[in-house]
Amino acid sequence: MTITFIGHGYVGLVTACVFADFGNKVWVVGRSPDKIKKLQSGDPLIYEPGLKEMLQKNLTADRLHFTLSYEKAIAESDIVFIAVGTPPKENGEADLSMVLSVAEKIGRHLANRLTVVSCKSTVPVGTNAKIKAVIDKIKPQKAQVEVASCPEFLREGTALNDTINPDRVVIGSNSKQAISKLLELHQPLPGERVITDLSSAELIKYTANAMLANKISFANLIAFYCEKVGADVEAVLDAVGLDKRIGRIFMNPGVGYGGSCFPKDVKALIKIGEQLGVDPLFLETVEKINLQAKQSFVNKIVKHSPGKHLAVWGLSFKANTDDIREAPSLFIINELLNQGFTITAFDPVAQKNTRAILGDKINYAESPYQALSKADALVIITEWNEFKHADLIKVKKLLKQPVIFDGRNIYNPQILKKLGFRYYSVGRNSTV
């Protein structure tokens, strides 16, 4: 089968590589000559474990093709996936300008046969109907187009595995032909098939992300309680998570959620609720707690830091990615800078992206231990494995004061206490 992806971000590029690896001919259309040239040379542009190797393998096999031109890619494709961004507007509503612009370009280049246009971008209910209307208005008379919603559920940092081993494949369409084509394409993948209408498929992605954001905010709310009464949030959530109706997965306290999906999708679902006359109070609270989690961590540092120079470990919004979009680190660092702190930071892969935003407001170290030099305390914001397995005796020697603020609860408080640290984590008794 020949397929095209419009967009080469996390969703478009990862999914394109996976389907090329299954033997399909895959086109990826972009709009930046520089980025397309880098992709053609085997540079994935983003950090994702295993992605560079799969990209280069399928380039060598001549199954994966990157282009600026819609003409050839669209004309010969059986399925065209829209995988462009839907960033939030100032009011929180999803900006669909890129999606609808791409739909118009697709329509212009359709061949005189059946083409399935499937949206992978996260979009509000009714968007796929708009895509169909745009294409129908501009397409060649003999071209036949059917639309479908095929949302993605990959996680940055584990995107390849999530794409190859999905929990479910959701296909929403009013067209039996579109459903048949998409089922055929996804045949190599495991996971439950969920065949539904367009509106349900569009809402499934928002619902999934809102629920995951809720689990994080709920864990942080309980952490607030635990800190007030001297309880251990990890013990509380471990016990609660043993209930099969609840589970422990993703119910992790910390410095809040970030990234390209949860913040914008919660905002978008709030806006959708307002437009539909549904009170989004629950989601507004999820968002409020997320901000409180970041601010609470800042307040803890300001109150208990023995000095004004801090080492920061972790800048990406989560481990195993270089993505800093809506990263808690940006909020925390800016708040600390406003309080007069100086910062030396280290992240295994996200320093370049952070420097593009923060510039020289902070210093950047070449290793986690170099960041500790002359620092009064260590602040941990991202849960990279190399931080979890750091040499804590060495950390203590390098710090001016044995103080750690752990925003991800990656260490055992009792071990830190025995080593002589003052240790402040989230929702657990501080070891002072």
User: At residue 216, what are phi and psi to the nearest 5 degrees?
Assistant: -70, -45
Axis-axis angle for helices 51-60, 10-21 (nearest 10): 50
- State how far the alpha carbon of 175 is from the alpha carbons of 81, 148, 181, 212, in Å: 16, 8, 10, 31
DSSP string, 125-138: TTHHHHHHHHHHHH
Pick from 157, 252, 148, 266: nearest CA to 206: 266
To the query of whether residue 17 is one of the catalytic residues in this protein, the response is no
Say which of 119, 150, 226, 261 is annotated catalytic.
261
The answer to whether the CB of 302 falls within 8 A of the CB of 339 is: yes
Which residues are CB-neighbours of 281 under 8 A, at least 6 positions away?
none
Residues 6+ apart with CB under 8 A from 44: 13, 51, 52, 55
Q: How many CB atoms lie within 10 A of CB 335?
A: 17
Radius of gyration of the chain (CA): 23
In this structure, how many other beta carbons lie within 10 angstroms of the beta carbon of residue 144? Answer: 14
CA atoms within 13 A on the CB side of 63: 17
Residues tagged active-site: 261
